[in-house]
Amino acid sequence: MIEFFVPGVPVGKGSARTFINPKTQKAVFTPASKGTKAWETRVAYWATPLAPREPWSGPVGVKALFVSVRPKSKEGQSRRYPTVSPDCDKLLRTILDALTHVFYVDDKQVVDVHGLKQYGDCAGVLVQVWQV
């Protein structure tokens, strides 16, 4: 199992939007979340030194613990888990896409996946990756 921490505020991968440009009559694709590409690049940057020479070709497992700093308005509360956006599944999608070509060839190889959001002192994501 390989484990690493990526500091920073995790960004979820929103639903992409497609629309027809009325002037050109061509489909235009727009990502829904700003900062997604930068976050994916950051995750890949921290993962690459620990990655195998060649991406794994078999089944893979991924576990991600997303840590958010508790807002000052919530400091007195005992809630441990942030039940706010972004959704855990969208955060996971960003991680899985970021690790493609780093640890595995395609994220369809991920057969075991776990995600958890919680409050902590330092924002970021703790990632574990393993071959199943």
Number of domains making up the chain: 1
Phi, psi of 118 (to 5 degrees): -155, 165
Question: Does the pLDDT at position 80 exceed 90?
Answer: no
Question: Does the pLDDT at position 1 exceed 70?
Answer: yes
Confidence (pLDDT) at 105: 97
Question: Does the pLDDT at position 75 exceed 80?
Answer: no
Confidence (pLDDT) at 23: 87
pLDDT, tens only, 18-70: 778 888 888 877 766 678 899 999 999 999 999 999 999 999 999 999 999 98
Tokens describing residue 124: 């970021």
What is the maximum alpha-carbon separation in the chain?
Answer: 54
What DSSP string runs through 36-94? HHHHHHHHHHHHGGGS-SS-B-S-EEEEEEEEEEPPGGGTT----S--SSSPHHHHHHH
The CATH number linked to 66 is 3.30.1330.70
Determine the Cα–Cα distance for residues 66 and 68; give it in Å rounded to an integer: 7
Domain span at residue 14 reads 2-131
Q: Quickly tell me which residue has 């440009």 as its tokens.
A: 21
The length of the chain is: 132
